[in-house]
Structure 1
């Protein structure tokens, strides 16, 4: 991004007036990440929404609220109402509202949230705005989108496989309902070893069929089916690593010992078929 002197001047001005990084980025219409990088290089200090010191459960040790009420709900979520005086009207994005109410956005996700503004009269300060922030949050479970991407992209190294052996027969490898997250790669170790020996006999074509549920959970953040049925908790980060490890053991070997390899994935509830 090319920065103008005017933009840099605006950043310094808003920072000196007590705006946070996120508020400054929104006012200037630039990305938060770009602003953060530029401010760090220029050593521009911004107002912090609160002291981000969190206990092990993800709640903040210190909140700017003079009045904060928390209710625990039956589904494990928490409903919070916080009254506070702020220098500037806050953004309504989930991260800002959770931080103002004392929650770590990396450990909680917001179900709903909003705020109202009231005028508070004081002989010392005059008329000042008071904000009533109301949110409902729940602990994050499983993987975030970034964590899922990291799991898929972990230590990926492009390689070229040369042909070692082929034949005139065809081989179909069905892999139904593996349920990674409940199943681990260690559970399949003997099966994978036998399968590798079979592949190394050499074939004209090898078809790998991934059928049904590859993962135990259809959700990323909760262990549930696509219809919302609650399942036993599964470590979905480890599930992705185990799935990648399985196919890393099979697909490169199939390429080396056959003239052609294809993979078909079929899953419910749509019965969709994808071939590559």
Structure 2
């Protein structure tokens, strides 16, 4: 993915256009005509709002008890009093919105929330926080959710094959905890070779089960689980490519050696969000496969007269038999 490198001459030009009264959209149009690059309005607003000769800008809103400080380095510090719960105080997106910042445009650099309780005539004892955060604009080279989706779907050409019933038997291929990122394609090559030998025997139905933690990290630019637990650093761009190659080989062979291919998705605690997007890639690439995508943590299905239950296993493992019975009685 190619990103635009801002230079002093570009910053000076957008500031000049801003002083002339042009809006961010008009500046973007002008810059495209001049340099042939589509600049985001977000980055234009960032550079037009932070002038080098301004040491610090302070804005006070006495009605809300809010102070906003625009720092010379382009960051912004906001202090205000608000009512929120302990859980909301731990939610970066909630805190950003409470201070009036769009989470799509800003990242938190630091945050401090001081708690106390106060009596209210209407609501009795309420929790209040003196909240102070420093934020910075997101840079253009950060991957957004749409960027990640585009990464998965890059250069997809739907793949179709002539499917031939080779047998009356079925094959289930369970794939839990591949953890691409820590795991490489070279690590699983031997397993993939043995799978292909088995698949090439031919089947009526082949079911591929992605059972969670397909990737080691839930993020592309930092290594952490869905809940934010920090992990060893891994190359997630390479992890996506390894997963694509692994499944491209596996799904293609399955389609060639069966009448029907099903792919089941099960959310894991490491990378459920990216797994969902990866299934969307497989849907686009292999329209012949029957793909059930979900963000749930349990599922079940019938394969002929056999009931098969799916779970990543990190949630309520001791209660799984009864949970399955209650949630999937038909199976």
What TM-score bracket applies, with the shorter chain setting the length?
0.5 to 0.7
**Partner residue in 1 for 2:135:** 136
Q: Distance in 2 between matches of 1:179 and 1:222?
A: 15
Structure 2: state its 5+ residue gaps: 1-15, 36-43, 57-68, 75-104, 111-132, 270-295, 302-331
**Partner residue in 2 for 1:111:** 108
Q: Distance in 2 between matches of 1:266 and 1:210?
A: 6
How far residue 231 of structure 1 moved from its aligned partner, in angstroms, is 0.6
Aligned length: 187
How far residue 241 of structure 1 moved from its aligned partner, in angstroms, is 1.2
CA 1:36 to 1:265, structure 2 compared with 1: closer, same or farther past 3 Å? Answer: same
**Partner residue in 1 for 2:61:** none
Instruction: Please state if 1:203 is matched with 2:215.
Output: no
Cα deviation code 1:227-255 (max 9, x no counterpart): 22111112111111111111101112111
Cα deviation code 1:215-237 (max 9, x no counterpart): 10123442111222111112111
User: Does the 8 Å contact 2:172/2:208 carry over to 1?
Assistant: yes
CA 1:80 to 1:154, structure 2 compared with 1: closer, same or farther past 3 Å? Answer: same
- DSSP 3-state at the match of 2:266: strand
Match of 2:72 among 75, 78, 82: 82
**Partner residue in 1 for 2:297:** 271
How far residue 271 of structure 1 moved from its aligned partner, in angstroms, is 1.2
How far residue 80 of structure 1 moved from its aligned partner, in angstroms, is 7.7
TM-score (norm 2): 0.46
- DSSP 3-state at the match of 2:72: strand
How far residue 184 of structure 1 moved from its aligned partner, in angstroms, is 1.1
CA 1:215 to 1:49, structure 2 compared with 1: closer, same or farther past 3 Å? Answer: closer
Q: Distance in 2 between matches of 1:211 and 1:243?
A: 14
Q: Distance in 1 between matches of 2:184 and 2:149?
A: 20
User: Does the 8 Å contact 1:142/1:237 carry over to 2?
Assistant: no
Structure 1: state its 5+ residue gaps: 1-13, 26-31, 53-61, 69-78, 85-107, 114-133
TM-score (norm 1): 0.55
User: Does the 8 Å contact 1:180/1:216 carry over to 2?
Assistant: yes
How far residue 273 of structure 1 moved from its aligned partner, in angstroms, is 3.8
Question: Higher helix proportion, which one?
Answer: 2
Higher relative contact order (CA 8 A, sep 6+): 1
- DSSP 3-state at the match of 1:240: helix
**Partner residue in 2 for 1:28:** none
CA 1:259 to 1:222, structure 2 compared with 1: closer, same or farther past 3 Å? Answer: same
RMSD between superposed Cα atoms in Å: 4.1
User: Does the 8 Å contact 2:165/2:204 carry over to 1?
Assistant: no
